[in-house]
Amino acid sequence: MSEEQIRLPEMREEVVSAVRALADPEYQKRVWIERKYPNPGYFDDFTLNVNILGDATVLDDPYAAIGYTLASEEEAQAMKGLSDRLLHIIEEVGSESPDSAFLASPLWDGIAEAARNALEVMTQ
């Protein structure tokens, strides 16, 4: 299945954007922690990106998103790796914790690594 056959291309772009944010520790520090936004009216944080992935069903069941926001089983597998790590860190750190607590967790490097892998698969 090609990207042209995705039924929800705009939502796919949001998914790619969320994965890109999760893959970039420098962006996270600058935007999520220091709140240095690229332009007025801009907002981004960890919770927003997790919610985007949840809304696109790639957090709970990536395989169900094939054809909607994901193009292949390979993408779903990469997103499953990311979603498993995200769900684990949320459970460990606590869903109401500030972004700084997530980024300080020893589990965070695994999030960034899984996101980089998913981003590579989705943008190849």
Share of the chain above pLDDT 90, in %: 94
What is the C-alpha to C-alpha distance for residues 56 and 98, in angstroms, rounded to an integer?
23
pLDDT of residue 56: 87
Q: What distances in angstroms separate CA 52 from CA 17, 22, 90, 106, one per listed residue?
A: 9, 12, 15, 24
Q: What is the pLDDT of residues 45-81, one digit of tens each?
A: 999 999 999 998 899 999 999 999 999 999 999 999 9
What is the C-alpha to C-alpha distance for residues 76 and 44, in angstroms, rounded to an integer?
24
**pLDDT surpassing 80 at residue 4:** no
**Model confidence, pTM:** 0.94
**pLDDT surpassing 70 at residue 34:** yes
